[in-house]
Structure 1
Amino acid sequence: MKQLLAVDWGTSSLRGALLDNDGKVLKERSFERGILTVPPGEFATVFEASFGHWMGATGTFCLISGMAGSKQGWLEAPYCACPAGFDEVASQLAWVRAGRIAIVPGLSCEREGIPDVMRGEETQVFGALQLLGLQDGLLVLPGTHSKWVWVRSGRVESFSTFMTGEFYALLRQHSILARTLPEADAEVDWDIFDEGVALALRGGSLLQTAFSVRSLSLFGRMAAAGLPSYLSGLVIGEEIRTQQLPAGTPLVLVGSDSLTRRYERALGQRSAQVQCAGAEASWRGLWALAQTIHPHWDA
């Protein structure tokens, strides 16, 4: 195999990177063609229009992660049960085109008899471990549905999902708080964000603390422009409040700069030291996974 086409095909976007044998990014492309925009039976057509010229090169192999492997995607890739590492994930790839194009399965785990799932985040986790040279740790992936992932000896042992981003959007747009909040979010007011985090960490339920967004505004104790920052601090602080952070366990944030900065600042109120990995973790994870299926690369 001469090069890898790494693709992250999510709900709302499609992005890909061409990597050489050393994992170096040669080219990148992105499109607003998430799986929800693709009619049934048209995934191959969209893929060809987006990356066909890259796949035309002899020896190019493609790995796809994300929602393309869901029931609504190109080809369902059943979840791989945790604990799982590179070998387990590689053994359960869903092959779109034998030897050339495969979809990475998501992961599943059970906590107290309740199943949890992820798709796409597993490649970010594996990539972050590679980038930072870690085999163990607690990885946090902020987002609409944040993931807290426990890794030991390079394998995902378990994880938990928190609907933090979605709850923020629901409160921001569809609750009584929407009448108090400004139409658009301004730049983050970090001092006010810190206030929200601090209140959440003091132990009150979000069902109670969220109403303070309205009451502080009613009594003129917080300007409207700062309320989105305060609400963001409340919901992120609530997520962090529920976590155990064992001393000595590496804590890694994986995601966009805008979100990881908020989580790093909030975690600082619990005296947590973190390392960060960005969007490149997806590419590194797919490249590292490809190394475990080397026999297919020359197919």
Structure 2
Amino acid sequence: MKQLLAVDWGTSSLRGALLDSEGRVLKERSFPRGILTVASGDFATVFEACFAHWIGATGTFCLISGMAGSKQGWLEAPYCACPAGFDEVASQLAWVKAGRIAIVPGLSCEHEGIPDVMRGEETQVLGALQLLGLQDGLLILPGTHSKWVSVRGGRIEDFSTRMTGEFYALLRQHSLLARSMPDTDGEVDWAAFDEGVALALRGAGLLQTAFSVRTLSLFGRMAAARLPSYLSGLVIGEEIRARDLPGGTKVVLIGAELLTERYERALQQRQAVVQRLGAEATWRGLWTLAQTIHPSWDA
């Protein structure tokens, strides 16, 4: 392999990085062409328009993670059951073009007979293990649907999903609480955010604490501009409150900087020890998978 085209194709965005044979990022590109913007049957056309100049080079192999492997994506990549590591994931790729372009499968697990799934986060987690030299640990991937991932022996053993980001959006935009807040979030008010986290951690649950957004506004105890940050603290704090997290627990956060910064602040109220990673986890995960596969690079 001379180069790897590593692609993260999600619901709302399409990102790619060209990596050399040592896994170093040579170039990166990003497009607002998430799978929801692509008509059925047009995925190959969009991919070519974005990356033809990279994938066309001799010796370039492409691995794609994320929602491109969903039923609504380019080619469905069936879920790989946990526990799973690089070997299990690499053995269940969905090949768009044999030997040249493949989609990484998502992962599945069950809790009390109820299935849970992820797509894209598995690649980030496996990449983080490589970057940090970890074999065991707890990793959190904040987002619309946050993932809490347990790793043992270098394999993803178990995970669970929290709809934190989606609940924030619903409350922020479509509930009575929205009437108390400005149209846009504005800059983060960290004091208000911390106050929301603190109430969530000592409260009886989001169904009760969320109403404080309304009453703090009603009695003039918090300015409207501060309320979005306060609500963000409430929902993130609720996510963390619901987990058994002894003081001193080591946590790896993976995601966008502003979002992982919020989670780090919230986790510090539980005395957790936090490390943060960004896009580099995705690229390292895809690069390490490419080394695991050993495909016919000249196909």
TM-score normalised by length of structure 2: 0.98
Identity %: 83
Q: Alignment RMSD, CA only?
A: 1.0
- Alpha-carbon offset, residue 133 of structure 1: 1.1
By how many angstroms is 1:175 displaced? 0.1
Is this contact kept in 1: 2:196–2:234, CA < 8 A? yes
- Alignment of 1:215 with 2:210, yes or no, is no
Letter in 1 for 2:63: L
Residues of 2 paired with 1:149 and 1:11: CA distance? 21
**In the alignment, does 2:256 pair up with 1:251?**
no
Instruction: State the partner residue of 2:40.
Output: 40
Contact 1:127 1:285 in 2 (8 A): yes
Instruction: State the partner residue of 1:92.
Output: 92
Q: Is the 8 A contact 1:213 1:227 kept in 2?
A: yes
Q: Does 1:118 align with 2:118?
A: yes
1:259-298 equivalences in 2 (<5 Å) = 259-298=259-298
Q: Secondary structure at the match of 2:267?
A: helix
Unaligned runs of 5+ in 2: none
Shift of 1:298: 4.3
Partner AA of 1:100 in structure 2:
R
Query: 1:176 is aligned with what amino acid?
Result: L
> 1:47-196 counterparts in 2 under 5 A?
47-196=47-196
Shift of 1:250: 3.2
List per-residue Cα deviations over 1:197-230 (Å, max 9, x = no partner): 0110003110110000000100011111110010
Structure 1: segments with no counterpart, 5+ residues: none
- Tell me the SS of whatever aligns to 2:191: helix
CA distance in 1, matches of 2:282, 2:153: 20
Q: What is the identity, as a one-letter code, of the residue corresponding to 2:157?
A: E
The alignment partner of 1:296 has SS state of coil
Question: Could you state the TM-score of these two structures normalised by the residue count of structure 1?
Answer: 0.98
Secondary structure at 1:292 match in 2:
helix
Match for 1:163: what amino acid?
M
- The 1-side partners of 2:2 and 2:202 are apart by 54
Separation in 2, partners of 1:95, 1:37 = 22
Query: How many residues matched?
Result: 299
Deviation string for 1:91-146 (max 9, x for gaps)?
A: 00000000000000000000111100000011110111111111110000000000
Cα distance change on mapping 1:249 and 1:199 into 2, 3 Å: closer
* Corresponding residue SS for 1:270: coil
* Rounded Cα–Cα distance in structure 1 between residues aligned with 2:175 and 2:28: 39
Rounded Cα–Cα distance in structure 1 between residues aligned with 2:49 and 2:193:
43
